[in-house]
């Protein structure tokens, strides 16, 4: 039921957007230009199609028309568009994904403005709600931000997220390596964020 309410509300917000869900920039978009942090239970999918390990992830999201440059580590660049960063919420988790993220590791993925959220067509994920027909823009950010608000466990960050903040001891993992791809589907993560 919650999922139906989220998508109905998101569709309503998109219908009021001057640019629609493929979204050109427009002023007054809630949450735009501010890091959002949420916790999500992400369930991987096994090779045979059954549900695999569940990992509790801390997820940071940032959407803006401008690059983010505040207090970043020297090896990090945040370009305009949508940036998603994940870390494991605890080193005590036993899932395969959590074990990859243990010891202050993070994975970051960036979607340029106008890019499709369906950028990895090799990932086979059922999309009965049409999530991946959206492109990154103000309209799609409204959908994501609305889902985050409805979840009730999202907090706007006043500082640069810990994993990418200057002086912190985090190490990046490449999002497109085979090991990460075995345990993390970005499509499934986006669905988990919208359904949480």
Structural domain boundaries in the chain: 2-22+31-195
pLDDT of amino acid 34 = 94
Strand order of the sheet with strand 81-88? 155-156, 36-45, 51-64, 81-88, 105-111, 171-173
Q: Render pLDDT for 156-180 as a digit per residue (tens, 0 to 9).
A: 999 999 999 999 999 999 988 888 8
* 107 phi and psi angles, rounded to 5 deg: -125, 135
- Is residue 11 over pLDDT 90? no
pLDDT at 108 over 80: yes
The whole-model pTM stands at 0.83
The DSSP code for 155 is E
- Which DSSP string do the residues of 10-68 spell out, in sequence order? HHHHHHH-TT-TT----S--TTTTS-EEEEEEEEEE-TTSSEEEEEEEEEEEEEESS-B
Looking at residue 125, its pLDDT comes to 59
Residue 160: the pLDDT is 97
Report the range out of 40-49, 105-114, 116-125, 132-141 with the highest average pLDDT.
105-114
Question: To the nearest whole number, what is the mean pLDDT of the chain?
Answer: 81
């Amino acid at each position: 039921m919650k999922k139906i309410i989220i998508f109905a509300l998101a569709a309503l917000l998109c219908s009021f957007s001057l640019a629609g869900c493929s979204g050109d920039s427009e002023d007054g978009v809630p949450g735009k230009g501010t890091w959002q942090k949420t916790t999500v239970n992400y369930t991987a999918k096994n090779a045979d199609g059954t549900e695999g390990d569940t990992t509790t992830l801390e997820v940071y999201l940032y959407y803006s028309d401008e690059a983010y440059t505040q207090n970043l580590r020297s090896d990090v660049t945040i370009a305009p568009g949508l940036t998603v960063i994940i870390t494991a919420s605890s080193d005590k988790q036993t899932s395969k994904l959590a074990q990859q993220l243990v010891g202050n590791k993070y994975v970051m993925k960036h979607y340029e403005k106008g890019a499709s959220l369906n950028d990895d067509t090799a990932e086979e994920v059922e999309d009965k709600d049409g999530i991946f027909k959206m492109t990154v823009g103000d309209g799609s950010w409204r959908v994501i931000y609305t889902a985050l608000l409805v979840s009730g466990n999202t907090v706007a960050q006043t500082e640069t997220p810990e994993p990418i903040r200057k002086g912190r001891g985090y190490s990046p993992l490449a999002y497109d390596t085979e090991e990460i791809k075995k345990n993390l589907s970005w499509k499934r993560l986006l669905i988990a964020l919208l359904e949480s």
